[in-house]
Structure 1
Amino acid sequence: MRILFLSYWGLHDGLTTSTVFPHLRLLHQRPDVEAIRLITIERGADAQAELPFDPGFPAPKISFEPLRSRPSRNVLLNKIEDFTRFPQEVVRQVREFRPDFILARGAPAGALAYLVWQKTRLPFYVESFEPHADYMLESGVWRRYDPRYLFQRHWEKRQKQLAAGLMPVAENYRRQLISEGVPAGRIATVPCSVDAEAFAFDEAARSRVRRQLGFAPDSVVGIYVGKFGSIYYDEEAFAVFRAAADHFGPAFRLIILTPDPLPAVQRKLAAVGLTGQAFVTKAAHTEVPSYLSAADFAFATIKPAPCRLFCSAIKIGEYWASGLPVLLPPGVGDDSDIAEAEAGGAVFDLSQPASLPASLLRLEAMLRQPGLRAQVQQLALRHRSLAQAQTAYETLLPAS
């Protein structure tokens, strides 16, 4: 079996490290897989740079060929140019590599796979399939008559019709796809998987990081990992951090790991009076587990929207794998319901003023429970295991 694996993210993107590489490893370990060609889309500085491929495991079956976006001051024109040029480049790689099918990671990558299918009729599968166009619309990033929205929505419709298999990240979306007429036999739910062992709680790392940051052993530490804005709360997130600080008092400390410009984040912390209680840095993915071990709970400040029911945030799986209960809004994939039903965190709704203080009270009660971290880690094992991806591959991918 020869697989062309198409990622919409760049080689150095955190989502590639956290979501693409583990799945490549699963496929690489299969004896019926002869070769894998990884294609990423590189933008910005990486589009012009040398990109040595190192997935973190021996990968003799995997070759790497990036698609390099041309620099442009106009984002819209740049994306249009990408979707006219990249399909031709992928078709060239198809002819050279001779894959049996394309496995696309995410609906934007699935759009490219569909455009290649138009020219080659090469079967394609889409994992991490989500309603990306509606995400961007409901988050205010795209407008209803933005060409990016119109094209992506059309391409998602064609993926539903023509993909040999779809792997949505939430049971909520699997049910929605079936209601839209997609045959159930072509769908397998695969939430964003995490390596529970790599993210497991480490007492030594907890002590070391707290000591390095000057946090006392009895500090109550919240952590946030990720960006601000777009599909995530921005100023509202800092208001949530402030509410947590007010609730837990002087013992509260905050860790923020973000790719965003650090001075901008520091200014937002200063605006809510949290400069002295917070530590902000950009951390490599391999460093994240140690910071999670240093924390007591986590924030997942994802903007509520109707289509958010169909998402699966990798950060929530990583939080749970470290044993951290999560403070999150309602309607975040399957996770908000899991958090409430299985004591994986507390749900708050900013449209209801009393909701956040109540959720902080529930969270505080959880933190007093003995054995909480081990209990929460079981959620990652039950709901975010790589075994779900392995089962989906066995169910949907063609037999060799």
Structure 2
Amino acid sequence: MSTKEQRGPKAVLVITYWSSADALVRTYTLPYVRMMLRAMPPGSRVYLVTLEKPGPTCQRIEEDGIIHLPFTYHALGLAGAAMIAGLTWRLTRLVRRYRIDTVHAWCTPAGMVGYIVSVLTGRPLVIDSFEPHAEAMVENGTWRRSGMAHRLLFLFERLQARRARVLIAATDGMRAYAARSYGPTTARWYTKPACVDVLRFAEQEVKRPDKLRELGLEGRIVGLYTGKLGGIYLDQEVFDLFRAARDHWGENFRVLLLTPHPVSELEPMMARAGLDRSIFTVRSVPHEEVPGLMGLADFAVTPVKPVPSKRYCTPVKDGEYWALGLPVIITRDISDDSGIIREHGIGSVLESLDRPGYEKAVKEVAALLDGASRKELYQRIRQIALRYRSFDRAERIYQEIYGE
């Protein structure tokens, strides 16, 4: 009998602040939950909490070893405070009833609940994707620094840093930031950027003829953006950048937007940029369909607002773009990714959010596309995904935490 089998099954409570259908659960949580289960003895269980908006949007997660616990979501405020109180009470009972060993929260908003449950039950706390969320919300204009939401989350980020047994950050620099902002911690630190399934985001999805025909993109230069606009991301600036691309490539340029925003929200920004609606293909699809659409592009955009706290985040989409061999236009000082793109010459870093900055970025990407075939770019850029975004790195981290 192996040592793992002798230890007996474990039970872990994983808390997220996202819905079950959200790509952050599908690509940024579930792959790592499976790694946790592989590291633990046979028969171990993970109780996975998701927060669902009212309505029939919940997608049940049914996998061996995963018990899905969906709860109703409310934004911060009176309803949000009631949600957190009720959720904390129910999870505290669940921890005791099912003899859960560890509380594992994804990002600091979920970490607020995780912290309280850990204190009330005495269970060790793990904070995954430990980033300065409170500061980011102020920097991008969503919250006021003097507002209750910022003050509350910042307080809980400090408490999480002090209590956690393990802190998993997205960049190495987060450790120094936490020491300056939150004070000393005795936690074990790990660094895990957002990894990517390189088997799904791979060559078989690049420029699929059937998809190109279906969307009318054959022979076109296709610019891609995947995700939301506004909040932590730029909005109008994305369309102004695509205008510079349209002016460079002319009638041959098309834009593929994979976004939950309805077209009615996007059309005013298209119009302000002077872009015709006809050059856009807009889709909102399940994440399972994303690789086949992403692979139709020639380059992609990561328009995270370039605020100081974003040096410590990790855009999931960059790993997916790189795995498909796409040059990326990114804003400056985003995670380690801006530096990687500049160092390896696999895209362009936007030094300014104005017409000269957009034109410079487009010309740098055009030089890449003109200087190599799509296959050659794929082979070159994919190596960056394998080096910096491999699941192997994450697997080792969860083995150390849960394979003890």
| TM-score relative to the length of structure 2 | 0.91
Quote how far apart the aligned CAs of 1:154 are.
0.3
Distance of 1:349 and 1:140 partners within structure 2: 21
- Aligned partner letter, 1:63: I
Quote how far apart the aligned CAs of 1:178 are.
5.3
More displaced 10-residue stretch of structure 1: 74-83 or 162-171: 74-83
- Residue of structure 2 equivalent to 1:14: 23
1:118-197 alignment runs, 5 A limit: 118-177=119-178, 182=184, 186-197=188-199
> How many residues of Structure 1 are paired with residues of Structure 2 in the alignment?
389
More displaced 10-residue stretch of structure 1: 171-180 or 183-192: 171-180
- Aligned partner letter, 2:382: Q
- Residue of structure 1 equivalent to 2:235: 234
Quote how far apart the aligned CAs of 1:123 are.
0.5
More displaced 10-residue stretch of structure 1: 262-271 or 107-116: 262-271
Distance of 2:205 and 2:177 partners within structure 1: 42
SS for the counterpart of 2:168 is strand
- Aligned partner letter, 1:342: H
The answer to whether the aligner puts 1:64 opposite 2:68 as a matched pair is: yes
Q: CA-to-partner distance for each residue in 1:86-125, whole Å, 9 max, x for gaps?
A: 2111101111221110111111111111111221121110
Q: 2:301 aligns with which of 299, 302, 305?
A: 299
Distance of 1:201 and 1:184 partners within structure 2: 44
- Aligned partner letter, 1:328: I
The answer to whether the aligner puts 1:376 opposite 2:386 as a matched pair is: no
Q: CA-to-partner distance for each residue in 1:220-260, whole Å, 9 max, x for gaps?
A: 11110001110111111111111111122221110001011
Quote how far apart the aligned CAs of 1:355 are.
2.5
* Residues 329 and 361, structure 2, Cα contact 8 Å, conserved in 1: yes
Distance of 2:16 and 2:333 partners within structure 1: 27
Distance of 1:176 and 1:121 partners within structure 2: 27
Quote how far apart the aligned CAs of 1:75 are.
5.2
- Residue of structure 2 equivalent to 1:317: 319
Q: 1:3 aligns with which of 12, 33, 42?
A: 12
Quote how far apart the aligned CAs of 1:31 are.
4.8
Which structure 1 segments of 5+ residues have no match? none
The verdict on how the C-alpha distance between 1:152 and 1:178 changes in structure 2, with shifts beyond 3 A counting, is closer
More displaced 10-residue stretch of structure 1: 261-270 or 136-145: 261-270
Distance of 2:292 and 2:390 partners within structure 1: 20
Which structure 2 segments of 5+ residues have no match? 1-9
* Residues 206 and 296, structure 2, Cα contact 8 Å, conserved in 1: no
- Residue of structure 1 equivalent to 2:342: 340
SS for the counterpart of 1:3 is strand
Distance of 1:352 and 1:215 partners within structure 2: 28
* Residues 262 and 281, structure 1, Cα contact 8 Å, conserved in 2: no
Q: 2:49 aligns with which of 39, 44, 62?
A: 39
Quote how far apart the aligned CAs of 1:268 are.
2.4
The verdict on how the C-alpha distance between 1:31 and 1:116 changes in structure 2, with shifts beyond 3 A counting, is closer
SS for the counterpart of 2:333 is coil
Distance of 1:254 and 1:51 partners within structure 2: 30
| TM-score relative to the length of structure 1 | 0.92
- Residue of structure 2 equivalent to 1:350: 352
Distance of 1:337 and 1:35 partners within structure 2: 39
1:45-124 alignment runs, 5 A limit: 45-46=55-56, 51-54=59-62, 59-69=63-73, 76-124=77-125
* Residues 311 and 334, structure 2, Cα contact 8 Å, conserved in 1: yes
* Residues 344 and 379, structure 1, Cα contact 8 Å, conserved in 2: no
SS for the counterpart of 1:44 is coil
Distance of 1:369 and 1:128 partners within structure 2: 37
- Aligned partner letter, 2:366: E
Distance of 1:185 and 1:110 partners within structure 2: 15
* Residues 327 and 348, structure 1, Cα contact 8 Å, conserved in 2: yes
List structure 1 segments (4+ residues) > 4 angstroms apart after TM superposition.
Answer: 178-185
- Aligned partner letter, 1:309: R
SS for the counterpart of 1:368 is helix
